[in-house]
Structure 1
């Protein structure tokens, strides 16, 4: 039986959780990763070498490694982070490896593909856009004398940590070129999975690249949206699960979904959440996908089962 071609979009730990589950369902996976990170090792390499931030790409590659000795060893090597205050302090070895291959090959996608072959990754990792991006957010509640005043916050690191209420996000440049291989993968997919992940800095940016958004709207693939297990983060303070869906609709009202996956722990108002999912054209799938002992962490087997039930 042919296994489905799945494209998973996101960034950071959320995308890694989705990929670990999806590789139990299929080996035809393409991870599409945000490229707006400007903090830590990724930010340093981005500024010094004028390259895409490699950190979220690295995490996706590590998540696609299998559970054998080769995969677990190389995943650990890729994620190894140097200690100390010297020039290497804070850098992940995988970030350095990826940037080295980019310099050697002069081709972003070829470099990522080569790292994937070295790791024996069960899938492919691609950037969401062909150039590094910056995230800007309209944020309210930062002025104690005028809580309704909206200010502009720039940079993924600052948006992710803001103590205000994010009203909307945008990218700079506002019409970045998409990665052609990414567009082709979305158009040829059987299933597209968006989320989980930091809503405004890992999930929403995919909808702000015009060519990618158009491909997501036009693809014949089934579209699945995975909600987070933690809703009340710094950047989503005060938002319910239904609010997360409404935010997505406001940024891309033409995009519909077939299913929305939500863990029971975040379904506090099921009628409202079902209505918000229906506004996206989706069925709400309430399924236990959290790790029982750590409700903020997705359980790989449970999430894989939820995807399998939807994908068929």
Structure 2
């Protein structure tokens, strides 16, 4: 029997990286089984940084986290998720490496194709969706930061590297990618083109979310796609690279990096209220979007999204 169109689950492309994207994916798999995660590939720290430097490969860490977030909830899927996330202790050559990073790097070496390797790990996990890199080559982030040098607080300094940008003092003014332009991941571009919904965020704004807009083919697809577009605001709005941000500032940064991009929905927690909510509504209106405020915070872990609450909010928006 054919499923009525009204009950068809939407195809969603979710863009971001790190823990923010993982939380979004955990929520989305409760709403739809048509998920494509498009993940930043500019990480240069920890296990990912060591592997990309040694083997000249895409940093696997954020890709591994996205795959783990989409794992099947059977005993098999959960055991493999835990195996992928296992991190070796000690100061030896394996110390600090996540097993999943090593498995992904090994499959890339064997198959010679990053997308095929990620798809194979996805099948191992029974992943409820697909994970793709946002670009076909490892990238470096460079940011212009006001006040990065404490001895020169009024000067703009160029900061290079995802870790350096994420932890830089001062205010990030803009970000760039090297190489410029980066080679696109064609399946990722196609996923955006064919999606019903595209979701940006949450995640480290300058080092996980904005880089997607700096891949020209991907940004063009985001602008031209017929999919509806939603921005999920971060819970921790005044942390690290976005110190001092109000909710509306995220939208201003988005516009500065992709002036032709329009949105349909901006999803914010109910903690965004009062004057801050009013300013957010004005900023969203300039992008063609409405603001949806919902209780999506994890009350046990401040500054993070609760996957079940976020799933409920996504369901309400996607079904509307």
Q: What is aligned with 1:295? A: 302
Which structure 2 residues correspond to residues 83-232 of structure 1 after superposition, within 5 A? 83-232=89-238
Q: Match for 2:286 among 279, 284, 288?
A: 279
Specify every segment of 5 or more residues in structure 1 that has no aligned partner in the other structure, as ranges: none
Matched residue of 2:169: which SS? coil
Identify the match of residue 250 of structure 1 among 245, 256, 263: 256
SS at match of 2:226: coil
Aligned length: 312
Shift of 1:144: 4.1
Contact conserved, 1:241 with 1:267, CA < 8 A, in 2? Answer: no
SS of 1:257's equivalent?
coil
Q: Is 1:270 the counterpart of 2:277 in the alignment?
A: yes
After superposition, what is the alpha-carbon deviation per residue over 1:53-109, rounded to whole angstroms, capped at 9, x for unaligned? 000000000000122211211110000000000000000000000000000001110
Question: Would the aligned equivalents of 1:267 and 1:273 in 2 still touch at CA under 8 Å?
Answer: no
- TM value normalised by structure 1: 0.98
Shift of 1:293: 2.5
CA distance in structure 1 between the partners assigned to 2:120 and 2:313 by the alignment: 31
Match of 2:48 in 1: 42
2:201 and 2:232 in contact (8 A); partners too: yes
- Secondary structure, in 3 states, of the residue corresponding to 2:309? helix
CA deviation after TM superposition for structure 1 residue 166, in Å? 0.5
How many angstroms apart in 2 are the aligned matches of 1:93 and 1:293?
28
Cα RMSD, aligned residues only:
1.0
Query: Contact (CA 8 Å) 1:187, 1:219: kept in 2 or not?
Result: yes
Where 1:291 maps in the other structure, the secondary structure is: coil
2:8 is the counterpart of 1:12: no
- Equivalents in 1 of 2:134, 2:273: separation in Å? 30
List per-residue Cα deviations over 1:141-185 (Å, max 9, x = no partner).
Answer: 134454221000000000000111111111111211110101111
**2:103 & 2:148 partners in 1: Cα distance?**
40
Checking the alignment, whether the CA contact within 8 Å between 2:149 and 2:169 is kept in structure 1 is: no
**For 1:144 and 1:135, how far apart are their aligned partners in 2?**
21
Q: Which SS does the other structure have where 1:304 is aligned?
A: helix
Cα distance in 1 for partners of 2:195, 2:92 equals: 44
Q: Take 2:98 and 2:300, find their aligned partners in 1: how far apart are those partners?
A: 29
Q: Deviations over 1:20-76 (max 9, x none)?
A: 000000111000000000000000000000000000000000000122211211110
**Is the 8 Å Cα contact of residues 67 and 131 (structure 2) preserved in structure 1?**
yes
Normalising by structure 2, what TM-score? 0.96
1:191, 1:145 → 2: CA distance?
46
* Structure 2, unpaired ranges of 5+: 1-6
The answer (yes or no) to whether the contact 1:229–1:266 under 8 Å persists in 2 is: no
